[in-house]
Amino acid sequence: MEIKNFKKIFSVVIILTVTFSLSSCLMDDDLMTADVKTGGLIDASTLVQYLPTSDQGISLNMIVYPGPAVQVVKVYKTFYHKSTGKYSNQELLSTIDVNGSNASDTISLSPSYTWDQLIQGLSMEDYTIPSAPSSADVGDYFILTYKSVLSDGREVSSNLNTTVLVANTYAGYYISNIKYFHPTAGGHYPDEPYYKGQVLKELITINSETCSTKFAIWGSYGEEIILTINADNSIDFEVVGFTYIVKEGDPENLLLHSHYDPVTHFIYLYYHYEAPGGNRIFWEVLEPYNGG
């Protein structure tokens, strides 16, 4: 786990911000009053996916804001089993030293946890939490909660928590390579797309075969595409939050259909929608991103 002075890392461009949003407009007076027991002293990732093939565990992004000196942050864990709708007991996962460094500056923390650390000490009456993520039920999750211990001994519970979701095999980050053909705005099908670019996307687990992610070049206003990968590696999808009805395939080339490549783990998406002037056609290839 690393602890860094925020001023030293402020110039670093952070692109993996899909699951980590920071609270805004927090002033010292908002963070703490004399007898408060909950507050906004820290912020953290709200969702982290635990990939079933991961052997390195998961990492969190955390921020400790300037204000009352925090000595340590206590991280607690609970497990939720979806099929029974029941929770495990709660246990302390870790204690992170801050040593009051946030008294004058924002502090960045990046704790990491393995599956063994997450399950240690947790139990349920009617279910045994698996010893490896690959044996866990997709959709089950851990809930991490936080308490800040101040220099006077007071413990302040955070207003937020983190969901560590047991993911399916398709979940995670991808580089989306998009070609967008427009009938009137410019370019020429199929050699000169109106738009060509790359964007980082995260596929979020819904169930064993289904994920959701931002739709095409949009997503800021809730536009999503829900992908289901079938046993024959064909792909069904549904687009939500978008004005037009999106259909599978390329109407100009009937051989192009959405599919998953189980060897490369690439996801190939071909879709279109009709609007004034003609069809808008998209070719999108999702390439697994390993952070390199």
Q: Is the peptide bond before 130 cis (omega within 30 degrees of 0)?
A: no
DSSP 120: T
- The two three-digit tokens of residue 78, written as one number: 């609970």
Give the C-alpha separation, 177 to 9, whole Å: 29
Residue 35 scores a pLDDT above 90? no
Q: Is the pLDDT of residue 246 over 90?
A: yes
Question: Which pLDDT score, from 0 to 100, does residue 36 have?
Answer: 65
Mean pLDDT, residues 121-133 taken together: 95
Dihedral of the alpha carbons of 133, 174, 15, 116, in degrees to the nearest 10 = 10
* Contact yes or no for 181/114 (Cβ under 8 A): no
Q: Which residue has the higher pLDDT, 18 or 76?
A: 76
Averaged pLDDT, 187-200: 97
CA distance 213 to 217: 11
How far apart (Å, rounded) are the C-alpha atoms in residues 112 and 263? 29
Range with lowest mean pLDDT among 44-58, 192-206, 257-271: 44-58
- pTM to 2 decimals? 0.84
